[in-house]
Amino acid sequence: MRLACDRLACNRLAAILLFAGLAGWQPTPADAAEAPRDPIALRLARADGREAGQLAVAETLTRIVPFETAPFPYRGTIPGTGKPFLDVERDGRFGHTAPRGGVYFEDRTYADRRVLLSIPRGFDPARPALIVLYLHGNEARLDRDVRDRQGVARQVAASGLNAVLVAPQLAVDALDSSAGRFWEPGHLKLFLEEAAVQLARLHGDPVSAQRFATAPVVIAAYSGGYLPAAFGLEVGGVADRLAGVILLDALFGEEERFARFIARRRNAFFVSAASPSTASAQRRLAALVAGAGPIQSGPPLRRIAPGEVRFIEAPGTEHRDFVSRAWTSEPLRAVLARLPGYPRADLVGATEGAVDPIITGAARAPDFKRP
């Protein structure tokens, strides 16, 4: 544990050193001419004398890399129970008893520290940017399911947003929704701090670290990702960075925690979509937040406003395929495409506020095929 803490301290120091070169920035006449751009964007664009747009990536960058702050391994207790997460020992191996999956051993299920990172072609850290934190469901692997079958990185890129993807491995290929270290107060904040350093490394330019360290965050959870999402919202320490929440057939519990988030959400949006598997739980959540302000129903046709709460029911859909096909093909892309204020440089004017032809029926994109 001490080694992990030391490495995390090194990551923080690295981030500080990356940022230190920006501390001496002073506005120039050219900055004043670009006043509508936000201060961090100006600082990034001018830090080393380059014009805005010269930090944009030429090709999509996607890697699966180990993190010191990953949600697993986890050696703590299960919140609200006082019971150790690893409650089984056999022949020197430690395991966890999952309510639905039985006993899973740490070395096979809860030891993967890897995180999927993806920066789409055209992403420019000198423009307003988002981080999409994707929390996968049960029986999933980052490569097989999140990257390939569900096409999550591709959906983020296809949304047209100036956004990057961060997707940690949770329980590996298991019927278990455990949140691991995301149960711990403040740990999600630490995870995102390391993500800023790792994304800057992937991007290849140290000045991008400041954008990644301050970018607003959208938490998107599918299925069993509801549990780390609920605890991340409540105890993760990221309320000041949260732009919104997207639940994709994920309301398998914790309705009260999500209701508390909605009640205090400030300007963060909340979109939940349900197949028949979670429709009743979604209705319970809608009833819990009935007094928290206007609630929208049905798919968003244009932009999603800050603070908007929207519930979508998708009858006739399959839970397993919900991330790739729900009320529309590629529902994550469809929601992200409606977030105003973060268009990629190569798509400015082409996507922001535009109507999605997949939703309106004016045209239809090719359906996603599972390999």
pLDDT in tens, 141-194: 999 999 999 999 999 999 999 999 999 999 999 999 999 999 999 999 999 999
- Encoded tokens for 86: 């690893």
pLDDT single digits (tens) 22-68: 333 232 333 333 333 444 443 444 344 445 456 788 899 999 999 99
Total length of the chain:
371
Rounded to two decimals, the pTM is 0.82
pLDDT single digits (tens) 250-269: 999 999 999 999 998 879 99
Contacts (Cβ under 8 Å, ≥6 apart) of 96: 85, 86, 87, 88, 103, 104, 106, 109, 110, 176, 178
> 7 pLDDT exceeds 60?
no
Mean pLDDT, rounded, for 287-297: 82
> 310 pLDDT exceeds 90?
yes
CB 271 within 8 A of CB 221: no
Preceding omega of 343 cis (within 30 degrees of 0)? no
HEC per residue, 108-165: HHCCCCEEEEEECCCCCCCCCCEEEEEECCCCECHHHHHHHHCCHHHHHHHCCECEEE
Question: How many Cα atoms occupy the beta-carbon half-sphere of 213 within 13 Å?
Answer: 21
Nearest to 300 by CA among 335, 254, 340: 335
Q: What is the pLDDT of residue 207?
A: 80
Helix extents (H) in the chain: 2-20, 29-33, 39-46, 106-109, 152-158, 187-203, 208-214, 226-235, 255-263, 279-288, 331-336, 357-360
Using a 10 angstrom Cβ sphere, with 0-12 exposed, 13-18 middle and 19 or more buried, the burial of residue 282 is buried
Least confident window among 16-30, 274-288, 291-305: 16-30
* DSSP run (H or E) holding 102: strand 102-105
Banded model confidence at residue 338, pLDDT cuts 50, 70, 90: very high
Residues facing 273 on adjacent strands: 248, 312
